[in-house]
Amino acid sequence: QQKAGWIEVRDNHIGSPNLQNSLVSEGTTGDVIGIHLDVAYLPGNILTFDFHNRIEGNEITNLGSYNKGIQLRGGAPELTNNHIHHFYSNYVAGSTTIPNNTGINAIELRPGSRFIGNHLHDFYTIGNFSGNNTGIGIDLSQGLEIAGNFIHHFEAEAPYTPSRGIAYNETITSYPQYDHWIYNNMIALGFDSLGNELTTPLEAYGIYGVVDSTIITHNSIFLAGTADGSSAGIRVTESGTHMSRITNNILVNKKNQGTPGSFYYDNNITLDAGVTASGTLSIDYNLCDLRASGRSNLLQDANQYYPDFVSIRNATPYDDHSILGNPSFRNAPGTNQSVDLHVNYPSPADASGIPEPSVLIDYDGEVRNLFTPVDIGADAISSTTGVSPGLGANTRLPMILAPNPAGENVFVLDSEGKLQAASVRIIATDGRVLDPRQTGSFPSLQLDLRGIPAGCYIVSATDAEGIEYRSILIRR
C-alpha cells in the first residue's frame, strides 16, 4: 500500500501479445490484474488522499481469468494512452465468481483524477454464466475527468450479459461537491470482431450509472445487435442533489429485439424511476438515431416510452433542441481494426450543438472553435485524423495539474523533469495570457490562482528545446 510520494508506471507490456489466456488464475477465486495500485487509508475521508500517480502507455493483453487491466483505490491518478485488449474471462467449475472483464476499475478516487486517451477493446466472457464486460468502472469517487477514450467490441456467450462502456456507480455526496466530466469518448458495442451484429441476447449501455454534478457531453456512441436484451446509449440510474447535464452527444442505437413482443427496449437514453422527479438533470442538443421498430425509443423515462421528440417535449422538460438523423459515422459497425466513429461531412451533427466552455478540444486534440460553431459528438467534423485513442494519443504529457478542478492554488507537477519554470503561463479562452505568482520549483511548482476568475483555462509550459506542453485547468 502506498503511503507517500507518487508512482509512475509507464510503457510496460503485460501478457503475451499473441497467446490467448497468457496469464490465468488456476483457482476458483481471485482476479488476474495487470496493474494494481492501492493507496493506504489515511485518517479522514477520501479527499485526503493526495497521491498523483501516473499510469501511461502500458499494454495489457490476453488475460484469461476474472480480469482487471488496471485496478486503483485512492489518490488522484492520471491514466493516459493505455492499451487494454483481448481479455477472456472463463468460468471455472465450482467458482463463486462469475466471469467478468473490466479494463480500468477504480474506487475512492479524489478530485483531479483523469482517464485520458485509453483504448479498450475485445473483451469476451466465456461460459453459460452471465457476468459483465466493462470498459471503465468507477465507484465512490468524485471530480473525475474521463475523456478521449475509445471503447469497443465486447462479446459474451451467456445470454443477457451486460456490456458497459463507462459505468459510473455511487458517488460520495457527503463531501464537498466536484464536477465529473465525461466527454469526447467513442464507444461502439453490439458487434463482433469481424463487424457482424451480435445475435446472442445482451444488455448494452454506452454510459451507465449515477449522475451528481456530472457533465456528459461530446461523446459518440453506437450500439447494434439483433437479439433480445435492453440497451441504451446513456442510462441514468439515479440523479443526485446537484445539477447534471447531458448535451452534445451522438447517440445511435441500431440494436433490435429479436423476439416479437419482447419486454426489452432499445433506447437512446434511459432514465430510471425518480430521475426526472429529482429535477437535477437537463438533456438537450443531442443527435439521435435508432432502428425503426416497435420497441425502440429516443427516451425511456421510468415506465414511459417516447419514440419521437414531439412526445418527449410534450411530456418532459427534455430535448427542446435535440435532433434526429444519421450522423454519418465513417465506419460503424466495423471490425475491431476498422470501426471508426469519426464523422463524415456533411452531417446533421455539424454546428448543431451548444457551447461547453470547458471542452475546448475534440477527440483528436483539435481545438473546437477553429472549425464550425459547436459540432455534436466527440469529433469536430472537419477532423481528418484516423481512429486511435484520442486527446493526445501517442504523445508525452509531462505536466500534471493537481488538484484539478482547482481552488485558490494548483500544483504543476513535472514528472519528467523537462519543464522550465519561467515558461509557465495560463491562457484564457479569449487568448489573454495570465502570469500567476509562483512558489516553489519543479518538480512541484505551485501557482496562485486567487486573482483568476472561475472558468476554464490552458496551462502552458515549454522545455529546454522549446517544445510546448499544455493541460486544461478548471478554476472553481
Residue 155 has a pLDDT of 96
Q: What are the average pLDDT values for consecutive 10-residue runs of the chain, which has 476 residues? A: 82 94 75 88 52 91 93 91 94 73 93 92 89 94 91 94 91 61 96 95 95 94 94 95 94 85 86 94 96 83 95 97 96 95 94 86 78 85 49 49 81 80 86 86 85 86 82 82
How many other CB atoms are there within 10 angstroms of residue 441's CB atom?
10
Strand order in the sheet with 83-90: 13-14, 59-61, 83-90, 119-126, 150-156, 186-189, 220-223, 250-253, 287-290, 323-324
SS3 46: helix
Q: Which three cell numbers stand for residue 281?
A: 438533470
Triad 93, 96, 102: Cα angle to 5°: 100
**What is the DSSP-derived secondary structure letter of residue 23?**
B
> Smallest Cα–Cα separation from 165: which of 209, 190, 135?
135
CATH architecture of 399-475: Sandwich (2.60)
Residue 476 has a pLDDT of 80
How many other CB atoms are there within 10 angstroms of residue 454's CB atom?
10
How many other CB atoms are there within 10 angstroms of residue 313's CB atom?
15
SS3 275: helix
DSSP E strand boundaries for 43-141: 54-56, 59-61, 67-73, 78-80, 83-90, 100-107, 114-116, 119-126, 132-139
Residue spans per domain, the chain: 8-370, 399-475
Q: Alpha-carbon dihedral of residues 363, 366, 369, 371, nearest 10 degrees?
A: -100
Write out the DSSP string of 186-214.
EEEESB-TTSPBP-S-EEEEEEEEEESSE
Question: Does residue 361 contact residue 367 with C-beta atoms inside 8 Å?
Answer: yes
Question: Does residue 356 contact residue 217 with C-beta atoms inside 8 Å?
Answer: yes
**What is the DSSP-derived secondary structure letter of residue 313?**
H
CA distance 142 to 179: 7
- Please name the amino acid found at residue 115: F
Side-chain-side CA neighbours of 283 within 13 Å: the count stands at 29
Residue ranges in 309-355 assigned as alpha helix (H): 309-315
Question: Does residue 125 contact residue 158 with C-beta atoms inside 8 Å?
Answer: yes
Say if strands 444-448 and 409-414 run parallel, antiparallel, or are unpaired: antiparallel
368: left (phi over 0), alpha (psi -120 to 50) or beta: alpha
Q: Which three cell numbers stand for residue 336?
A: 475491431
Residue 14 has a pLDDT of 97
Question: Is residue 265 classed exposed, middle or buried when 0-12, 13-18 and 19+ CB atoms within 10 A define those classes?
Answer: buried
CA 461 to chain centre: 27
CA distance 295 to 298: 10
What is the radius of gyration, based on Cα positions, of the chain?
Answer: 22
CA distance 119 to 136: 10
Say if strands 83-90 and 59-61 run parallel, antiparallel, or are unpaired: parallel
- List Cβ neighbours of 189 (8 Å cut-off, separation of 6 or more): 151, 152, 153, 154, 163, 165, 204, 206, 222, 223, 224
Strand order in the sheet with 425-428: 433-434, 425-428, 455-462, 468-475
> Smallest Cα–Cα separation from 154: which of 187, 102, 189?
189
**What is the DSSP-derived secondary structure letter of residue 363?**
T
- List Cβ neighbours of 169 (8 Å cut-off, separation of 6 or more): 137, 138, 139, 140, 209, 210
